[in-house]
Structures are given as C-alpha cells and as structure tokens.
Amino acid sequence: MRVRGLKIGAANHAERIPGIQTPPRSGLGIGVLDIETRRPVIEQAIEMHARPGPIGAFHGMSTPESFWAVDFDRQQWHFSDSATKGQMARTIEALHSQRDRQPTRLREATKRVFFTAQHNHDDDYWRSIYPNFGRSGATGGDSDIVAYDHGPRPGLLYHEGGHNLANALYGEITPRGHFAAAASTSERPVSAYGTNALSEDFAEAVAFYVEDPDRMKAEFPARFKVIRRIMKDGRYGG
Ligand SMILES: [Zn+2]
C-alpha cells in the first residue's frame, strides 16, 4: 500500500508526527521547533513514511542509483539509498520552507525531486557554452529536478522549478510569447546567469519573483508583469 506521508507543511500533521506543534496561524509546524528538536522528528518521519522509489540514472547522473521516496503533497522527493537519514533530514529541513513559499503553479510544475551525491556529467559541456557557469547545483526542465553533490542549495527549487514551469507552458524550456517579448525590450535579465540563454533568463526571473517580488516589480517591470500573471492566472500561457 502506498504511504501518503510526511506532510511537514500541512496543518494536520500534528497528530501524525509526535513532537511537532501546530502553530496558531500558518501551517508550518516544523518552523516552531528549534533545530536540535526538529531534526530527530524529521528523521522519525522519514522512517515512518519513506518507501522504495525508482532506480535509475536521471538527468546528468552517470550511474544508476536506488532512491527512497517521500511524498510532499503532490511532489515526490527521492533520496539516494547512499544518503543517511541525517542527510535526508538536513535536506528536508533546508528546503521545506523554499517549497512552501512557491506559488501553486510553480510547485505543481515539478513532480519529482532527486537528491544524489553524483555531479552532473554535462558540466564540461555547459562550461563550454555558458560564459557564466561553474558547476551544476541542479537540473530541471522535464518536470523532474535533480540536485547534485548532496544538494541542497538556496533557490534550487525556484530556478529549476522555473525550467519545469516553462516546459509546461511552452512545451520546451525556452519561453515564447509575452516573456520572450519582455526579454526583447531594453530591460536586462534579472541576473548575470540569466544572460546565458533565454531559458535561464526565464528560470532566474521565476526565482527572483519568489524571493523578492517588490524589488522585481521596481527593477524589472516587464518581466515581473508576465511572471506575476503566470503565477496568478492558471489559464494564462505566458
Ligand atoms: Zn537553469
């Protein structure tokens, strides 16, 4: 039977995971516990709810791995079976607030997130074509995200989720329509990394929108208008 599990962000988890209190206002039960208290709670939750997941080499992974699966609402997070429970707990702890801040449309564009200790075997290729590139923290674009080198990194779910959202909107990671039009104005991309390609411009704009919408509205109004409408209007195609 499929375990529906680990609703760390949900308000009704208090009776399922002992030790997590439900705060008065938001559903972020885990946020009310201090770091020393909550890590064992997450580890316990992993023990209760993780189940065997897929086996394979995803995106830039060189060799296949077996993964554990943990459900987060409608996303599945997959942890390499070489990861310790403590590493899994650290990742969940670092990323769960990122996940909760995402607009619904962005969150729903990603179905599976994989965390691997491997690096992206395409890094040399990307270094050769992107001037602003060091090494891959993560990759997205096909409704999955793969996080490399033990992840997790700040902004990971927003930027890679942005590639997945572009793919859902345009059928490929390179945006067209109103976003492409906004990008063809004199307004510059929101970051240096966004100058690498229109697809990166879009992913960076999505991440910027989630992290600092007020600043984006002031400094990048053309991109802001398109991204905000994408997030607010589920029928808008961008
Ligand atoms: Zn990217």
CA of 72 to the centre of ligand 1 (A): 23
pLDDT at residue 12 tops 60? no
Q: Are 166 and 202 in contact (CB under 8 A)?
A: yes
Predicted pLDDT of residue 47:
83
CA of 62 to the centre of ligand 1 (A): 19
What secondary structure letter does DSSP report for 195? G
- Put the strands of the sheet holding 138-139 in their side by side order: 51-56, 65-72, 75-80, 112-115, 144-147, 138-139
- Rg of the chain, C-alpha, whole Å: 18
Q: How far apart are CA 127 and CA 135, in angstroms?
A: 8
pLDDT at residue 73 tops 50? yes
CA of 21 to the centre of ligand 1 (A): 37
Q: 49-76 as b/e, with b when 16 or more CB fall inside 10 Å?
A: bbeebeeeebbbbeeebebbbbbbeebb
Q: What is the mean pLDDT of the chain?
A: 83
CA of 26 to the centre of ligand 1 (A): 31
Strands 75-80 and 112-115: parallel
Predicted pLDDT of residue 6:
36
Q: How confident is the model at residue 36 (pLDDT cuts 50, 70, 90)?
A: low
CA of 161 to the centre of ligand 1 (A): 9
Instruction: Tell me the pLDDT tens digit for each residue of 121-180.
Output: 999 898 888 888 888 889 999 999 999 987 777 788 999 999 999 999 999 999 999 999
Predicted pLDDT of residue 35:
55
CA of 159 to the centre of ligand 1 (A): 6
Q: Are 156 and 94 in contact (CB under 8 A)?
A: no
CA of 197 to the centre of ligand 1 (A): 9
**Which of 212 and 32 is assigned the larger pLDDT?**
212
Q: How far apart are CA 167 and CA 151, in angstroms?
A: 23
Complete DSSP assignment for 79-98: EETTS-HHHHHHHHHHHHHH
